[in-house]
Amino acid sequence: MNRRYFGTDGVRGRVGQTPITPDFVLRLGYAAGEVLVRRARMRGSASKGGERPAVLIGKDTRISGYMLEASLEAGLSSAGVDVVLTGPLPTPAVAYLTRALRLQAGIVISASHNPFEDNGIKFFASDGAKLADEVELEIEAGLAHTMRCNESAKLGKARRMDDAAGRYIEFCKSTFPQNLDLRGMKIVVDCANGAAYHVAPHVLHELGADVEAIGVSPDGFNINDAVGATRPKALQEAVRKNDADLGIALDGDGDRLVMVDGEGTLYDGDQLLYVIAKARVRNGGVAGVAGTLMTNLALENALGKLGIPFARAKVGDRYVLEMLQSKRWQLGGENSGHIICLDKHTTGDGIVSALQVLSALRTQRSTLDAYTRELRLYPQVLINVRVQRGYDWQKKPAVLKAKQTAEKTLGRNGRVLLRASGTEPVLRVMVEGKDETKVRALAKTLAAAVEAGR
């Protein structure tokens, strides 16, 4: 069965347009509920008079979250599933609490780093990991069925969880070494007016840091608006203005991280992943690091010098996670700032990742600049070319020739990647290498070849 609604990270789209409408999300909740009830019966945990399956629902700060939360709650309840509502909470917090509370699933209402007009629904399994492909396909199949509400005696119940943020704060702090603290450090944290606005500042403050917080005044419309991990200029300015030691920026749902040093220099996910890996080499070794097709070639080379194996997965943190699990490695991530430390959490977590970086710097008495000095990222140019759906660049001779020419020109000192977007009719043309002028020219030539043959 082909996926119709589920992408690499759940169901996502523009609010008011299918699939992000109240009626569809109601049916999605019901379909997911039916799957959970059916699987519970197969395990024998929902026998006559037994416990109903229970699901945790968290959300970010988008105004549409209220509407979609109500639809999900109604759909799940009508299928006979109990619901626990947390209100605004980071995506990794939902993953953690789902596992900690022994619930059957967790659901996050969020479109991550997208503008407030978008929203999405993503699921976690009972172990706090992303929902398995076969379960997502089972839910999709259920969407084709007629929705039937249970009789009153078999409806699910709903309750609110008042201490969800506090529990997650304590969890985040537990991932930081007991013998370390952040006293004497001035840190600016940018929460993107998103789900971490009432969590991240408290974590850092309770570990001893002097905290300046920005992006902590959500109004339903300003999530990711000129703040957060995808708009780091606000953080860079705040770090300089407050004479801070460094800055931390999260995205709207708190699973993405970028950082800034005291000079205002930005460090992306590749550089932060390097910091964590390098520190772990000194503390006993790293079995390997998983990146993606977009991971900078310089990181792969730098890890090689540290004796750390490296492998590339498809773009998307779920594919990084799959590779880590298949290789039994613990560390991976994307240059966008999704970093996964499987010995700390089951999913990417911006706050936990920031604490791993801070732990490395405190232990080595170093700075971001000094600790990443051996890693100098290669210039990377990305051009998005709009194409018709179903466009196959591998069947375009002119594009193939342009790609081969670019690869020959770069040799071992660069890479060329053509990748179709999973969310929009766009072909992503990426070229990287040591010479920025050459890289930029090759990217433009290759993009022109795509445009000419679309």
Q: Is the pLDDT of residue 67 over 70?
A: yes
| 226 shares its domain with 362 | yes
Percent of the chain topping pLDDT 70: 98
Tell me what pLDDT residue 1 has: 57
Provide the domain limits for residue 424. Answer: 380-452
Tell me what pLDDT residue 212 has: 98
Q: What total number of domains does the chain contain?
A: 3
| 253 shares its domain with 366 | yes
User: What does 361-384 look like in DSSP terms, one character per residue?
Assistant: HHHHT--HHHHTTT--PPPEEEEE
Tell me what pLDDT residue 247 has: 98
| 286 shares its domain with 213 | yes
End-of-domain residue from the set 162, 192, 224: 162
End-of-domain residue from the set 371, 391, 415: 371
CATH number, position 409: 3.30.310.50
342: three-class secondary structure by DSSP: coil
3-state percent breakdown (helix, strand, coil) of the chain, nearest 5: 40, 20, 40
| 411 shares its domain with 426 | yes
User: CA angle 265-191-21, nearest 5°?
Assistant: 125
Q: Is the pLDDT of residue 87 over 70?
A: yes
Q: pLDDT tens-digit profile of 362-421?
A: 999 999 999 999 999 999 999 999 998 788 999 999 999 999 999 999 998 899 999 988
Q: pLDDT tens-digit profile of 195-229?
A: 999 999 999 999 999 999 999 999 999 999 999 99
Q: Is the pLDDT of residue 322 over 60?
A: yes
| 359 shares its domain with 413 | no
| 439 shares its domain with 393 | yes
In a domain, 293, yes or no: yes
DSSP-derived letter for residue 116 is T
Interval 347-351 mean pLDDT: 97
End-of-domain residue from the set 371, 397, 428: 371
CA 219/CA 281 separation, integer angstroms = 43
In a domain, 5, yes or no: no
112 classed as catalytic: yes
In a domain, 226, yes or no: yes
22-43 vs 64-78: helix axis angle to the nearest 10?
40
| 94 shares its domain with 137 | yes
Label residue 367 exposed, middle or buried (CB < 10 Å: 0-12, 13-18, 19+). middle
Q: pLDDT tens-digit profile of 117-157?
A: 999 999 999 999 999 889 999 999 999 999 999 999 999 99
CA 44/CA 59 separation, integer angstroms = 31
Tell me what pLDDT residue 42 has: 86
Q: pLDDT tens-digit profile of 270-284?
A: 999 999 999 999 888
CATH number, position 85: 3.40.120.10
pLDDT band of residue 50 (cuts 50, 70, 90) is low
| 387 shares its domain with 328 | no
In a domain, 1, yes or no: no
Tell me what pLDDT residue 45 has: 59
**Higher-confidence residue: 4 or 340?**
340
Tell me what pLDDT residue 8 has: 78
| 330 shares its domain with 191 | yes
As a whole number, the mean pLDDT across the chain is 95
pLDDT band of residue 48 (cuts 50, 70, 90) is very low
Residue with tokens 């520190």: 279
Q: Which of 71, 77, 78, 112 is catalytic?
A: 112
